[in-house]
Structure 1
Amino acid sequence: MESWKVNLISVWFGCFFTGLAISQILPFLPLYVSQLGVTSHEALSMWSGLTFSVTFLVSAIVSPMWGSLADRKGRKLMLLRASLGMAIAILLQAFATNVWQLFILRAIMGLTSGYIPNAMALVASQVPRERSGWALSTLSTAQISGVIGGPLLGGFLADHVGLRAVFFITAMLLTVSFLVTLFLIKEGARPPVSKADRLSGKAVFASLTYPGLVISLFFTTLVIQLCNGSIGPILALFIKSMEPQSNNIAFLAGMIAAVPGISALISAPRLGKLGDRIGAHRILLATLFCAVVMFFAMSFVTTPFQLGVLRFLLGFADGAMLPAVQTLLLKYSSDQVTGRIFGYNQSFMYLGNVVGPLIGASVSAMAGFRWVFVATAIVVLINLVQLAIMLRRRQRISIN
């Protein structure tokens, strides 16, 4: 088997265990904060938000640095750093005795991030360019699978073995990622880069043929994560407003939250392969348009079932968006700066994870639950129009 195929299979499992490990802690993080002595409703809400978002904020700041280091020292080294670093940071969280310790350890966890973007960059640098859309889409199914399975596994373990034990099990999963990376992933020798040859951030963008389009794709990544996260804070409350007599709101919310991942798993490799044939830009524009329609439609639902169906349909588009962005970033950047570009893109992804829930919570507080879907649709529509203009401008330049 060709080495890039072996690497693709290996990092698929590494990304799966990473997605599983990270997502299985998040559902019960407020419960753990409460267990650490935070009792009042206001303080619990504040600390839950802080401990959740600090990881993504720190990750957004350091991602370009790790991307630069990956271009110089190799991506396998960055994968080993991220998997082992996260395993240690999560293991230490099991021993936290107050919320400040947990907050600091969650910030340190953000410092160690970067497994999945470096896995993407490694595969992108080795796979034949004509198969890059399929390969990146296939790799994205690993993270999606982990994110679907993580909350279910985390909730089950928390109920049966206790909250602290979940941190130990999560650290073990990340250690498995480390071992898979260490023994199975092969990366060719990289030529040494002297200090004089290292590109500054300005020089990275100067080396791009279409820097404006690349920046536009960064903002598209932010918007994709924003529309995934904006619904999170209000989902359970919105379902409760539609079914006030129901006794299984948490179960319904969990199902409706997970259902887009199932359809994304189905669509991602197929749309990735289609993108290799007809162009990733067409897939990206079509899926963003579908997202706009679905979010507008969600603002009119009257039952949880209708919401679940629309979110399932949204998942078909969702599974193709980020891989399409990454395929276009690969197309419009050279091998010398791929790691840096993927690092910048990951920063925008993390920022979307922070901004999305803030927008969702703010809009619902000011205007009501249904307006969160409308506001999200408008943000995606603005991004779609702006991206279409940038792609058309690039087309005009390439023709001339």
Structure 2
Amino acid sequence: MDTDNGRESSLGKAGAFLSNIDPGMRRLIAIGVVETLAVTLYASLLAPWYKSLGYESAAQGWLAFVVQLTSALVAIAGGILADRLGRKRMYVTGQIIRCAVPVFLLLTKSYLGLIIVSLLRGLTLIQKPAENAFVGAYTEQKNRATLMSIHQTAYLLAAMVGPMTAGFLADLYGVKIPMVLGLVLAVAAIIIAIPLKDPLETEQDASDAIYIEQQSLTVRSFFSGVKELFSQPNSPILVMLLIASLANGLGNGAVNILLPFTVMDRFSSGYTAVTALSLFSSLGTVLVILIGGRIADIKGRRGIILISGSIFPVIMISMLWISELWQVYAVLLLITMVGNISSPAMQALNIEVVEPKYLATWSGFLMCASSLGMGVGSILGGFMYRLNPDLAWIVTVILFALSVVCYYFVLKPKPTLEQISA
């Protein structure tokens, strides 16, 4: 009887927690699910499709570099503009650009055309700093990591369905069908976003602020927020977090090339075999992300970030000895489980180190560092894979290890950092 009462009490608390989620956050989650489905329906097919067109690892590395370089430049501008001109308009701008990506994919097979596709894919990141600012405004510190884990879980469930659906449809009917479906969903996401509002502003205040900023927006005023942001007492922490984001980006960029080419060159070049990588990556994260969010809110950010970051690079070394396809999936599942359990803690930490008025700008800088790293990492991964695949994996492991070293210094227990670590 006591056990039943305890179970009912736990379920009641969980139900109350979910019912108290801000309506704006719920809408943001719904939009994210639809957009993730839209993107994964075509993005998960790009590596094998590009390879079928004759573009090998080095060529694909350059295309990935274009995506990430564009993302890096757009992220900073998008963050600053979101804080100055309004977050909603930057958010919707990214959504509109996203609709153009599958259109161009359907129309081109030339390398120049694929470069344009890569540019458009990078430009969609103008949306993300505003999205992060929305998330920060819709959540409170006491449960932020948990809500962010729910947010990410919803995305990842969509990221599991999208690639496998895309692979199945592409193997049966060709790549155009999933691309068209991705376009339809991208348009649907814009419609869902119409009622979305910035909770930090009333409609009147937002309108007045936008008008004032439009009248006074100059090069000097454009960067004034950046100067203020990095003039804060915790600016060394911000710099260290940027280095960590850059190192993570370098590692992830390399992995995005190494994994599909490992599968295609050693085991299978079928669409389903490659898109399964996205499935197992998302599955590993889904299995642990909610647990990681609760641990971060209850026990603090420091422990879970440092433990997770120290273990998963060691697991990644086992990629040197795989001999069968199932082993790739098994190792990838384990890597993502261990590595991504700390993701909510990292995301919450990045929100909590700055004041809300700088959040979109700061998110833009973080994304710039990550995107720049992913771009360079993609090129590095492509060339290293061609020279020596084993060396490529070793360098990638070192890059991820560098990131956790940065977090160690950021989260080093000192009186001035206790509030951040808690």
- What TM-score bracket applies, with the shorter chain setting the length? 0.7 to 0.9
Between the aligned partners of 2:48 and 2:325, the Cα distance in structure 1 is 26
Q: 2:41 aligns with which of 21, 24, 39?
A: 24
Question: CA RMSD of the aligned region, Å?
Answer: 3.2
Contact 1:94/1:167, CA 8 A, preserved across alignment = yes
Call closer, same or farther: CA 1:359–1:104 in 2, change over 3 Å. closer
Contact 1:87/1:171, CA 8 A, preserved across alignment = yes
Give the aligned residue type for 1:395.
K
Q: 2:341 aligns with which of 317, 320, 327?
A: 320
Contact 2:243/2:406, CA 8 A, preserved across alignment = no
Aligned to 2:386: 365
Aligned to 2:363: 342
Task: Please report how far the alpha carbon of residue 346 of structure 1 lies from its aligned counterpart in structure 2 after TM superposition.
Answer: 1.4
Between the aligned partners of 1:247 and 1:102, the Cα distance in structure 2 is 24
Call closer, same or farther: CA 1:120–1:31 in 2, change over 3 Å. same
Between the aligned partners of 1:123 and 1:170, the Cα distance in structure 2 is 25
Between the aligned partners of 1:45 and 1:303, the Cα distance in structure 2 is 21
Between the aligned partners of 2:37 and 2:129, the Cα distance in structure 1 is 16
1:395 aligns with 2:414: yes
Q: Structure 1: 5+ residue runs without aligned partners?
A: none
Counterparts of residues 1-400 of structure 1 (less than 5 Å): 5-29=22-46, 41=54, 48-96=60-108, 98-183=110-195, 187=199, 188-189=201-202, 190=205, 192=209, 194=213, 195=216, 199-207=224-232, 209-236=233-260, 238=262, 251-366=272-387, 368-392=388-412, 395-398=414-417
Between the aligned partners of 1:237 and 1:135, the Cα distance in structure 2 is 35
Task: Please report how far the alpha carbon of residue 126 of structure 1 lies from its aligned counterpart in structure 2 after TM superposition.
Answer: 2.3
Q: Deviations over 1:290-343 (max 9, x none)?
A: 212212333344444444333212112333344322211211100110010111
Contact 1:281/1:328, CA 8 A, preserved across alignment = no
Between the aligned partners of 1:325 and 1:383, the Cα distance in structure 2 is 12
Between the aligned partners of 1:253 and 1:162, the Cα distance in structure 2 is 15
**TM-score, normalised relative to structure 2:** 0.80
Aligned to 2:13: none
Q: Structure 2: 5+ residue runs without aligned partners?
A: 1-17
Contact 2:312/2:338, CA 8 A, preserved across alignment = yes
Give the aligned residue type for 2:118.
R
Q: Percent identity?
A: 18
Task: Please report how far the alpha carbon of residue 10 of structure 1 lies from its aligned counterpart in structure 2 after TM superposition.
Answer: 1.4
Between the aligned partners of 1:57 and 1:147, the Cα distance in structure 2 is 24
Between the aligned partners of 1:371 and 1:44, the Cα distance in structure 2 is 19
Aligned to 2:9: none
Call closer, same or farther: CA 1:184–1:3 in 2, change over 3 Å. farther
SS class of match (1:113): helix
Task: Please report how far the alpha carbon of residue 270 of structure 1 lies from its aligned counterpart in structure 2 after TM superposition.
Answer: 1.6
Between the aligned partners of 1:146 and 1:233, the Cα distance in structure 2 is 22
Contact 1:33/1:47, CA 8 A, preserved across alignment = no
SS class of match (2:194): helix
Aligned residues: 388
Between the aligned partners of 2:330 and 2:49, the Cα distance in structure 1 is 32
Task: Please report how far the alpha carbon of residue 186 of structure 1 lies from its aligned counterpart in structure 2 after TM superposition.
Answer: 6.1
Contact 1:289/1:384, CA 8 A, preserved across alignment = yes
Give the aligned residue type for 1:12.
I
Call closer, same or farther: CA 1:202–1:91 in 2, change over 3 Å. same
Q: Deviations over 1:199-257 (max 9, x none)?
A: 342222113x311222222232333343334233333554578xx6x668765554345
Report which stretch shifted further, 57-66 or 95-104: 95-104
Between the aligned partners of 2:305 and 2:320, the Cα distance in structure 1 is 23
Report which stretch shifted further, 160-169 or 188-197: 188-197
Between the aligned partners of 2:114 and 2:339, the Cα distance in structure 1 is 32
Call closer, same or farther: CA 1:325–1:46 in 2, change over 3 Å. same
Aligned to 2:4: none
Contact 1:263/1:316, CA 8 A, preserved across alignment = yes
Contact 2:139/2:147, CA 8 A, preserved across alignment = yes
Between the aligned partners of 1:122 and 1:281, the Cα distance in structure 2 is 24
Between the aligned partners of 1:130 and 1:253, the Cα distance in structure 2 is 39
Call closer, same or farther: CA 1:3–1:88 in 2, change over 3 Å. farther
Between the aligned partners of 1:240 and 1:47, the Cα distance in structure 2 is 15
Give the aligned residue type for 2:227.
K
Between the aligned partners of 2:234 and 2:123, the Cα distance in structure 1 is 30
